[in-house]
Structure 1
């Protein structure tokens, strides 16, 4: 049985179970519209995030770009959690109409597509942050500007001291940069893990819905087979009753003839 046939049957059952026709649940529609709006916003975030991540590690890399990446990652993670919970609620909706069933599937497909794209961007950001930390560590370990040999004059000593201080400032800056980016790496890794758990939960619910749909289809097919069997039995019973009535009529006719003969014999005798 096709999905369209199954949906038609389900719709018919709901119409029979509920007086009158049916209409989509306003709460379901409202939730679906909210999720669609958030998914649209997420797509916009993903586009911006992709552009900014592509600049990391290039000549266009700067503090503002990294700040935007951080903000977009945080905002998008929170939105994905909200959308994921909403999709779970939509998937768990009871007594859905065929239109609502289509909406359930459409929302999950869009959520899945956006989620995969976002997770890919998070992994790219993670790789670039790790590469940046490695480069910062290498810079911190290079004593650029350390003194070379003994100073022969006070002026030279002062210049070397200023150079040493400048190098120390650079080392401190690199260490602070390393700490900041390592924290961002931990945040990204945590975000990837949390969203993977959420997506797994949503996917499991969708899988269960599919299994339920298969079970309904099997039940409908069994009902169809049973109905055919019952129809065959009813036709057989109808033929049997027809034959029985024909035989009864013949028997009554024979009895009537015999009774007539008997009566005539009595009267004539």
Structure 2
């Protein structure tokens, strides 16, 4: 059993080859984790996605794919990795903090690539502002004298987790701020993710406006929902699809009243596979195959526009 601590970031890319011209076009897949925000949970998903996107680009270096993911702030495995000076505060971090941190990290990553050439409220306890602190202290007390190896075995047995997910979970429980950060962020999400705050330009309604010089005048959005998700109420999901998306089942897109405009994002409900909200535990490979299809369609649309 490996004792190596989970990584706080995963960056998959093909190293530059001496004497070879760098790729003329680079697509950077920047992955934002769920909560708990440990990127190691998603290693299988990210690695498989990268392999699917790059398996036929070995001989064609005109297009390059990079896949990058990082643990959310406060989920690092040791205090030395937490950028308290950069973020100007100590953990725990709220939702808006995480958004700003992700934006900053993405901007820095893009510059690096350029320089290198290529819910429902069934959870009233979360409303208690002290719950995250007390729960974190309680869990830390319970696991204080348990080494990660034994904790991994217990998690694998009682939660029926694969070994890699059990190891990541054990490291998360033993991390300096992980439990507190997860609960603090979950509470913050309950208060903030309840209304649609994106404007029409983000959703795609600006498609009817005159073209701009920007290469990407609006985002190309794709949504994939679980058939049953304890974090997203069916009524909330269905209302979002009805007002904002083109509804999709399987491989077809239904053109029904209020849902058929081509500029709207495609929104799918997984009715067949039964993928859960926490897909990263056991379903990283099939979900990666689904996402790879999304990425290829976006790239094809991008190529056709240029």
Q: Please tell me the TM-score bracket, short chain as reference.
A: under 0.3
Which protein has the larger Cα radius of gyration, Structure 1 or Structure 2? 1
- TM-score when normalising by structure 1: 0.22
Q: TM-score with structure 2 length normalisation?
A: 0.20
Higher helix fraction (1 or 2): 1
